[in-house]
Copies of this chain bind each other. A is one copy, B any other.
Amino acid sequence: MDIATVVGLVGAFGLVVWGIMLGGSLNEFWDAPSAAIVMGGTLAVLLVSFPMAQVMSLVKVMKKTLFATPQDPGAVITKMVRYAERARREGMLALEEESEEEPDQFLRKGLRLAVDGTDPQLLEKILETDIGQIEARHKSGKAILDSGGTFAPAFGMIGTLIGLINMLSALEDPSTIGAGMATALITTFYGALIANAFFLPLATKLEVRSGEEILVKEMVIDGIMAIQSGDSPRIVEEKLKSFLSPTQRSVADDAKQQAA
């Protein structure tokens, strides 16, 4: 669970609700037709913009990358070193058993390929292709979220224009202008809110998390190839640590000492 994402979303929407209730009531800010135009309209043009399958997979991508806790690179190193030790002691075939219990799908696939004696170059190509697919999925997810951040305010403005034109055409009693304007502005408010408190920040987080996830996957590939080529556990560790920043490295060292 990525706590910052949840805290941030709750915080942003909570502050807005609190701000509304200080000076009025939430009722005045809920207007079902306005919500239908802004959210429905945004969803509709996202369907025009992207193939159905990509829009569908967005929910899964977001669940995996935005709300799941990212894999700790240090823990991955510890695990790879353990595999390297076992492979050294008992041979590659001993990893078959490990691969069955490995929860991470990508690492499991890599271990199996290695256990099966797949040619190292082919093994690397297969896993790199998988990374490429994941990257493409993330990139398409970010493009959809960015588009949402552009279209939501646009449909907010379209809704406000509809409200204004309706109100101005029927302008007989000037005392109703206030309420009419308020309703018209609600769609602009919805559009601005979901763009800035939902679509745009999630698009950025998806990009950052994507980079982290791919880094860990690259570490896994390097680790499996090192194990397969018979490197000693110490060398596997050294190779994988070169992926880490100094801070991460010392954290990983601490974790290792605690584990020892």
Contacts and interface: CB of A to CB of B under 8 A. Distances in A.
A193 B24 contact: no
A181 interface: yes
A202 B48 contact: yes
A45 B196 contact: yes
Given A44-B11, A48-B205, A36 B19 contact: yes
Interface string A37-49: 1001101111111
A170 interface: yes
Interface residues of A, number: 87
A7 B44 CA distance: 7
A91 B121 CA distance: 34
B196 A165 contact: no
A158 B36 contact: no
A161 B189 contact: yes
Most-contacted residue by chain B among A3, A130, A164 (CB, 10 A): A164
Interface stretch (A96-104, A149-157, A220-228): A149-157
A188 B192 CA distance: 13
